[in-house]
Structure 1
Amino acid sequence: MVTEKKVGVLEGFKTFLMRGNVIDLAVAVVIGAAFTQVVNSVVKGVINPLVGAFGTKNLDAYSSCLKGPCQVVNGQAEGIRILWGSVLGAILTFVITAAVVYFLIVLPMSRYLARKAARDAAKEGTKEVVELSELEVLKEIRDALVAQSRGGGAGTGFAPGAGPGSGPSSAGSSS
C-alpha cells in the first residue's frame, strides 16, 4: 500500500513537471537570465559611457553624503553615503529591459492578436449571415408546408389563391 502512494506521488510530480506551463516557465527563466546579461552589457557598454561624458563612466561612483564627511579612514567608512548612482543604473537597466520587451514582444503580439480577432470576427459574421439566410429559407419552406396542409392545395405547394411570386413561400418551392 505504501508503494501505491509513492507511485501516485511520483506520477503526480511527473505530471506536474510535464505540464506545458511549467516547461514554458522554465524556458522563460533561462531566456530571461540570458536577456539580463545582454541588457547589463548595453547599460555598461553604451549607457554608462554616455553618462560618463558628463561625469564619471561608472554610475556606481555617483553618491552623496547624508551625514558627516564621507571618506574612508583606516579601512572604516565615515559618514552616511547614499549610493544613488547604483539606483540610477538599476533603473536604466529596468527601463531598457521593459522597452525591449514591450517593443519586440508585447506590441507585435498584441497587433497579431488584434488582426486574428478581426479575422475571426469577420468569419463569424459571414457564418451568421449564411446561417440567417438558411434559416429564412427553412422558415419559408415551413410556411409553405403549413399553408399547403391548411388549404389542401392539390399538390402545387401553394396555398389556394397563391401563385408563384406571391407571398413569402415563393422562394424555394418551384419544383
Structure 2
Amino acid sequence: MSEKKESVLAGFRAFLMRGNVVDLAVAVVIGAAFTNIVNSVVKGIIGPLVGAFGTKNLDNYTSCLKGPCGVDPKTGDPIGVNILWGSVLNATLSFIITAAVVYFLMVLPMAKYLAKQEAHRKAKEGVKETIEITELEVLKEIRDTLVAQRNGANGDGGAQGSPFSKG
C-alpha cells in the first residue's frame, strides 16, 4: 500500500512541476489583483457616472417583487422580496470591463505579435524557396547550354565526347 501512496505522491509532484500549473497559478494571482483594479474602476468611475442619474451605489438599485420592501428597523432584516438588480448590473459591468481590458491589452496585442512572427517566418521560408528554385533553374539553364554547345560543335548530335552520352 505504501508503494501506491508513493506513486500517487510522485504523480502529484510531477503534475505540480509542469510548467502549465505554475503558469496557471501566476495567472490566478494576477487575475485576483486585476479584479481589485476593475472593481475600483467600477466603483470609482462607472458608479458615479450611473449615479448622475440616480444613486452612486449601484447596489442600491432594487425592485420590490412582493411588498412592502425595506429593512426592519428593529432587527435589520430585509422585509418583503427584493430583486437586487443593481448588484447584477455592478457584476456585469465589472465583467465587461475586465473582458475588454484583457482583450485589448493582452489578447489583441499577443495575436498581432504572433501573426507578425508567422508572417516573418513565412516570408523567410518563401525567400529561401525562391532562392533554391532560382539556383535550380540556373543550373538547368547551364546544363542545357552546355548540351546545346556540344551538339553544335560536334555536328553529330552530341554522341561523341558528351558527358551525357553513354558511349
User: Residue deviations 1:79-99, cap 9 Å, x none?
Assistant: 221111101111111111111
Number of the residue aligned with 1:118: 119
TM-score under structure 2 length normalisation: 0.77
Structure 1 residues 138 and 6: alpha-carbon distance in aligned structure 2, compared to 1, 3 A threshold: farther
User: Residue deviations 1:13-37, cap 9 Å, x none?
Assistant: 2221111111111110110001001
Which amino acid is the alignment partner of residue 68 of structure 1? G
SS of the equivalent of 1:57 reads: coil
Structure 1 residues 10 and 77: alpha-carbon distance in aligned structure 2, compared to 1, 3 A threshold: closer
Shift of 1:68: 2.0
User: Residue deviations 1:139-170, cap 9 Å, x none?
Assistant: 5688799999x954415x477xxxxxxxxxxx
In 2: Cα distance, 1:53 partner to 1:158 partner: 92
In 1: Cα distance, 2:12 partner to 2:71 partner: 54
Q: Is the 8 A contact 1:144 1:158 kept in 2?
A: no
Q: CA RMSD in A?
A: 2.9
In structure 2, the gaps of 5 or more residues are: 151-156
Number of the residue aligned with 1:154: 161
In 2: Cα distance, 1:140 partner to 1:25 partner: 58
Structure 1 residues 13 and 143: alpha-carbon distance in aligned structure 2, compared to 1, 3 A threshold: farther
Q: Is the 8 A contact 1:65 1:79 kept in 2?
A: yes
Task: State whether structure 2 residue 89 is matched by structure 1 residue 82.
Answer: no
Q: How does 1:37-48 map to 2 (within 5 A)?
A: 37-48=36-47
In 1: Cα distance, 2:67 partner to 2:164 partner: 106
In structure 1, the gaps of 5 or more residues are: 160-175
Shift of 1:112: 0.8
Work out the number of aligned pairs and report it: 156
Task: Single out whichever of 91-100 and 63-72 deviates more from structure 2.
Answer: 63-72
In 2: Cα distance, 1:143 partner to 1:4 partner: 74
Structure 1 residues 134 and 13: alpha-carbon distance in aligned structure 2, compared to 1, 3 A threshold: farther
Q: Is the 8 A contact 1:67 1:81 kept in 2?
A: yes
Number of the residue aligned with 1:162: none
Structure 1 residues 122 and 79: alpha-carbon distance in aligned structure 2, compared to 1, 3 A threshold: same
Number of the residue aligned with 2:7: 8
